[in-house]
Amino acid sequence: MAKAQTASMTIAEMREFAGFAAHERNFIERSLDIGFGRGDAFKTWSRSVDDQRAIRSQYIAYRELRQLREIVPGDAAFDGMDAFIGTLLRITAQDLAQEQIDGFSAYRFLYERLLGAEARPFLPAAFCGAAALPQIRPDRRKMLLQSLSESAATAPAWSRHEPAFYPERIDAEVA
């Protein structure tokens, strides 16, 4: 039964990922490569000087992910909230400013993999806070904030199941 449930979760996550725009899927894959140190992100993802700058800023920001995973506050606790939310908000804002994530669903998909299931309850707050910052262009701000559904913003509880599907880029081999 557990294997069937895991398989159906994995398929659901694959379907969700497939539903994102191509640029969102690419950004998620690149971000996971950087966040988990998978391969050489510069070699795999860099096509221009702007890409190199964006990847470098992600490397710098994502160095703090390990620490964030260790300090996820409990649902009812306020201790440590400022360090966790403040850092998460800054990293989120940097990612949203790259304009490769078009809505909360893609953001949640990425960050629940980067930080784990324990962080899910905090993702709507970090997303809203970052999306509302003046560093995000006004038209993007509006689009991002409108992408957060009422049910996600007011969820009484979030799943504690860890993500099952972690997408990664697979380059076709040349024969």
pLDDT digits (tens, 9 = 90+) for 131-140: 999 999 999 9
- Stronger pLDDT, 158 or 148, i.e. the higher one: 148
Please report whether residue 72 resides in a domain: yes
Q: Give the CA distances from residue 71 to residues 22, 119, 120, 155, in Å, rounded to whole numbers and listed in that order.
A: 32, 10, 13, 22
Please report whether residue 125 resides in a domain: yes
Please report whether residue 129 resides in a domain: yes
The total number of structural domains that make up the chain = 1
pLDDT tier at 171, thresholds 50, 70, 90: low
Question: Two tokens at 157?
Answer: 């509880």
Residues spanned by the domain of 147? 2-153
pTM for the whole structure: 0.89
Please report whether residue 161 resides in a domain: no
Please report whether residue 168 resides in a domain: no
CB 31, CB 114: distance < 8 Å? yes
Q: Collect all residues with Cβ–Cβ distance below 8 Å to 130 and sequence separation of at least 6.
A: 89, 90, 92, 93, 95, 96, 136
Measure the CA dihedral 140/89/47/147, to 10°. -30
Give 98-143 pLDDT, tens digit per residue.
999 999 999 999 999 999 999 999 999 999 999 999 999 999 999 9
Please report whether residue 174 resides in a domain: no
- Stronger pLDDT, 116 or 172, i.e. the higher one: 116
pLDDT tier at 159, thresholds 50, 70, 90: confident
Please report whether residue 166 resides in a domain: no
Mean predicted confidence (pLDDT) in 151-173: 81
Give 5-48 pLDDT, tens digit per residue.
667 888 999 999 999 999 999 999 999 999 998 888 777 787 88
Please report whether residue 165 resides in a domain: no
